[in-house]
Structure 1
Amino acid sequence: MTAGNGLSIALLASNRHPIKQPFAGGLEAHVWHLARALQARGHRVTLFAADGSDVRAADSALRVQAFSPSAAAAADSSMQPRQFLADHHAYLTVMTDLSAIGPTSFDVIHNHSLHYLPVAMAPALGVPMLTTLHTPPTPWLESALAVSKGLGSAFVAVSKHTAHAWRHAVRPVGVVPNGIDLRAWPSGAGGPDLVWFGRLTPEKGTHLAIAAARRAGRRLHLAGPVSDARYFRDAIEPELDDNTRYYGHLDQAALADLVGSCAAALVTPLWDEPYGLVVAEALACGTPVVAFERGGIPEIVGPDCGRLVAAGDVDALAAGAAEAATLSRADARDRAVAACGITAMVDAYLQHYRQLVTVPGYGEYHRGAA
């Protein structure tokens, strides 16, 4: 444990993706910023994430353990897909290790993974755990809650929308909105064009942003990792031209420059986005947002900094882009400063950590319908 007032904190992230720039997604960016902010406040951070993570993001690491079944086991009819087995083994190993070393090594464990085993095995840890719910309910996590009865972990969600979505399975669920380092997303001068950034995958609706930009008569800049190669090949790549440009997977500084140079950002989720990190990042750059009204996004976007339109409505998205381009960039930045800064997020998490450490039973919850 850490001496003085500092805490020793284990952060559990994805075993598939390293915590480094350019980030594979919003969850990886979130954990990286949280880890560095906790370190800056004098806490010791140990990180569980894929090999290749930024060594500066933590004081030490819990290694992801690989597993290869024997030829006989792989040929068995019960053999699962190799990625499923790799995930299962990685989390089974780290949770078993934490149950052995946790009480003498850590004050608190903060679970950001989307895997079921950390929740299912939380009662065996001997050290309090906080689980952040980054997604809508999944069958695997609901199963883990049914097994563990929710004991061993407290729960927070990244938005009120996400907390409400989980009310049937776990409560109470606190709300700690994601926060970004506002210094890393400086306000830009803007310009006439539109921008879309994030993971290029069908549920993010990149193809609808392309259609809306064309209807609005504006050039569109795209940036982000290709998470679905077939989607990119079939739906995005054929649409690329001088007015629809793809810049690849940019590092954070280059992405901030691109976002800050545009009139408005299009946000087009085809699912209920739990929070909407790209919304916060665009607003911090002073770039108003035009977004489908889904998930946690309406908790961030108001009429002073953007426009919300019906999900899937390309015409409304195009019209909203024209309106958003006339909004005050200073007001957009002010909204990010007021609602999306990392300082408030870290303060809230530290409050939860200290309650877990000092208040017996804080991590338990009562099951039942609302």
Structure 2
Amino acid sequence: MSGPLRIVLIASARFPVSEPFAGGLEAHTWTLAKALSERGHHVELFAAPGSDPDLRVRELPVHQPVLSSAARADVSMPDAVWMAEHHAYLQLMVDLARDGERRFDVVHNNSLHHLPVAMASALRLPVVTTLHTPPTPWLESAVQAQERCPVTFTAVSAHTARAWHATVPGARVIRNGVDTRLWNPGPGGSYLVWSGRLVPEKGAHLAAGAARKAGRPLRMAGPVGDRQYFTDCVEPLLGDGIDYVGHLDSRALAGLVGGAAAALVTPCWDEPYGLVVAEALACGTPVCGFDRGALSEILTPDCGRLAPADDPAALAALIPEAVRLDRRAARERAEAFCSLDAMAEQYTAIYEELAL
């Protein structure tokens, strides 16, 4: 198919796709929407209200349910946030099933919700779903509920594709790309950096312990996704060179990361990709992290060091090696392996193949 494509990009109905991003999924969706639009495609974004108007894409409305007092009082009433998300995706899929093929060429589900997969059979246009997480029961159920699930699946890493293989064999690997015009090389410095959502599975407290053991200052940035975790596990470690600098937009965060000697990446789960790794490399900042999930796919000995999982002492011992790595090699790895252009081109190729 030649010419611009008409693409529905489905994002989170809970968090807006805007700066500062709630997490890596929102940052990735923003980057992809922008890249597709710059390539001349017509993108319509389904995302939470308040998404970035500068994306120059059409925002599809997110509808909230109007529930009667009797329904809200019923013992089966789920959490209000869950219900609002369910209703938003249900209304979107019903709308696309009605006449979506007249308005669009392809649907790209970039959300974590099960309904875009569960209802794909009702649509008369192709659906692409990107697997961003380890297998979840809701999504596995959605795939298995259809005799022949019509969805084309991609995965953000080979690790994630393997994790899903039993339910979704043959998912195509398209790694998340970073905009190297925004995440550009920085000068480095004396401090270490940690960035991401402050939640238990990201392990900021382990990064703080490793930095202190290595005798290096650490600056941490990101949204507080779990207030109890931050209060109990992170705040007591602050001070004496360990600082939390807040929730930064991408430009400020790129400056912080580019000014660091190395980036610490401390997942306490099998990281499906690790966007913060790609961002650090694009800034020319070597990475020192735990060998979990897809990190070993992104890093090479030229640009990073990996310690055994959940071992901050081993991580601390590798920090002196990491900070001596060539910053040019880190940048070159990002350009070769984490390219926004490559990601956009691979997705476009799938869209064109399906839209024929």
Both proteins in one fold, TM over 0.5: yes
- Give the aligned partner of residue 170 of structure 2: 172
User: How many Å apart are 1:22 and its aligned residue?
Assistant: 0.8
Q: Does 1:316 align with 2:305?
A: no
Deviation by residue 1:227-259 (Cα, 9 ceiling, x = unmatched): 001111111112211401111101111111111
Contact 1:124 1:152 in 2 (8 A): no
1:82 aligned residue: 80
Which stretches in structure 2 are left out of the alignment for 5+ residues?
none
Question: Which of 235, 238, 241 is 2:239 aligned to?
Answer: 241
1:21-32 maps to which residues of 2 (within 5 A)?
Answer: 21-32=19-30
Range with greater deviation from structure 2 (83-92 or 145-154)? 145-154
The CA distance in 2 between the partners of 1:295 and 1:57, in whole Å, is 31
Q: Which residue of 2 aligns with 1:280?
A: 278
DSSP-derived class of the 2:181 partner: helix
1:364 maps to what in 2?
A: none
Distance 1:220 1:149 in 2: 51
Going from structure 1 to structure 2, the CA distance change for 1:336 and 1:4 (only over 3 Å counts) comes to: closer
- The answer (yes or no) to whether the contact 1:121–1:148 under 8 Å persists in 2 is no
Q: Which residue of 2 aligns with 1:211?
A: 209
CA distance in 1, matches of 2:148, 2:47: 24
Equivalent residue number for residue 344 of structure 2: 346
| SS state at 2:208 partner | helix
Give the CA RMSD over aligned residues: 1.1
Paired letter, 2:231: R
Distance 1:265 1:319 in 2: 14
In the TM superposition, residue 171 of structure 1 has moved relative to its aligned partner by 2.1
Write the distance in 1 (CA, Å) between the matches of 2:260 and 2:75. 54
Structure 2: how far apart are the matches of 1:85 and 1:68? 11
Query: Matched residue of 1:10: which SS?
Result: strand
The equivalent position to 2:267 in structure 1, one of 250, 266, 269, is 269
In structure 2, the CA distance between the partners of 1:4 and 1:344, relative to structure 1 (3 Å rule), is closer
Structure-2 separation of matches of 1:293 and 1:163: 18
Question: Once the 2 structures are TM-superposed, how far is the Cα of residue 149 of structure 1 from its aligned partner?
Answer: 3.6
The 3 A distance-change label for structure 1 pair 320 and 21 is same
Shift of 1:58: 4.2
Give distance in 1, aligned partners of 2:56 and 2:38. 11
Distance 1:80 1:38 in 2: 37
Q: Which amino acid aligns with 1:171?
A: P
Whole-angstrom distance in 2 between the partners of 1:133 and 1:150: 18
CA distance in 2, matches of 1:269, 1:313: 11
Match of 2:71 among 60, 70, 73: 73
Point out where structure 1 has 5 or more consecutive residues left out of the alignment.
359-370
Query: Aligned-pair distance for 1:150?
Result: 4.8
Aligned to 1:325: 323
Alpha-carbon offset, residue 209 of structure 1: 0.3
Query: 1:142: which partner in 2?
Result: 140
Query: What is the match of residue 182 of structure 2?
Result: 184
Q: TM-score, normalised by structure 2?
A: 0.98
Q: 1:93 aligns with which of 91, 94, 111?
A: 91
> What is the CA deviation profile of residues 63-84 of structure 1, one whole-angstrom value per residue up to 9, with x for unaligned ones?
1101142111111111111111
Distance 1:322 1:212 in 2: 12
Q: Give the equivalent residue in structure 2 for 1:194.
A: 192
Write the letter of the residue equivalent to 2:175: P
2:58 to 51, 60, 67: 60
Looking at structure 1, the residues matched to 147 and 36 of structure 2 have their Cα atoms a distance apart, in angstroms, of 30
Post-superposition Cα deviations, 1:22-52, rounded to whole Å, max 9, x if no partner, equal 1111110111111111111110000000000
Question: One-letter code of the match for 2:190?
Answer: P
